[in-house]
Amino acid sequence: MNDCIFCQIVEGKIPAYKIYEDKNFLAFLDIFPYVEGHILVIPKKHYRWVWDVDNIGGYFEAVKRVAKHLQQVSNNKLVYSTIFGEAVPHAHVHLLPAINQTDIDQILKHIKRKTKLTEEKGIGLVEKLKLTS
C-alpha cells in the first residue's frame, strides 16, 4: 500500500530503528514513544487490522519473541502489550516496558500527548535493544 507509513518502512523508503526482523514481521522503535523502549511489531504484508493477519499465530510468536527479549534486556518482567492504533491503518502491536510506577504513569499520560524520539536516543536504544536472529 503506497500511502501506508508502515509499508514504506518495510520497503526501506522511510528509515526506522529496527529491533527485530524476519521474513514476515518487523519490530522497530515507535517514533513517538510512550516510554523508553516502546516497540511496534508489524506484519510486513499490509493488513488493516491485527485480526486480519493470515498467519496470526506466527505474528504473535514474533511479538512474544520481542517481548521476552525486552524483558531480558530491561531486566524486568513487566512489558505491557496493547493492540490499538487508529493513527496508522496497518496492523501493529505495541510493546511497552515499564520498570516502575513512574513509567506506568508516563505511559498513561503519553497516550494524550506525543513526544518524538530523537535520532540520538533512537540509535542508542537500538544498540541496547536489538534482537539478533
DSSP, res 8: H
The edge-to-edge listing of strands for the beta sheet with 18-21 is 18-21, 25-29, 39-43, 93-97, 79-82
Q: Mind telling me the catalytic residues?
A: 92
For residue 123, what are the CA distances in angstroms to 43, 49, 51, 109, 131?
23, 29, 32, 25, 14
Closest CA to 59 of 102, 11, 103, 23: 23
Q: How far apart (Å, rounded) are the C-alpha atoms in residues 133 and 130?
A: 10
